Amino acid sequence: MSETASSEYVQRRLDAYVSAWKSYEPNEIADLFTENAIYHRNPKSTSAIGRAAIVESSREPD
């Protein structure tokens, strides 16, 4: 793929992101992130570092 992502690629990634979070399926959520990703659910949340922590944070209520 070139340095510039096609609109189709971006749309597929966005669709996968939405689908994974709606599914509450841990493996689908984990697949969205790199092993060392840092994720913030919202500006006031504690950082979730790594896939396992991100999946665990997805189980917490907002």
In this structure, which amino acid lies at residue 21?
W
The structure tokens 């841990």 sit at: 26
Q: What is the C-alpha to C-alpha distance for residues 40 and 43, in angstroms, rounded to an integer?
A: 7
Q: How far is CA 61 from the centre of its chain?
A: 16
Per-residue pLDDT of the chain (62 residues; tens, 9 = 90+): 556 789 999 999 999 999 998 998 999 999 999 999 999 988 888 999 999 999 998 887 66
- pLDDT at residue 42 in the model: 85
In this structure, which amino acid lies at residue 8?
E
Q: Going from the N-terminus, what domains does the chain have, and what CATH number goes with each?
A: 7-58 (3.10.450.50)
- Neighbour-count burial of 1, counting CB atoms closer than 10 A to its CB (0-12 exposed, 13-18 middle, 19+ buried): exposed
Token readout for 25 is 């399926």
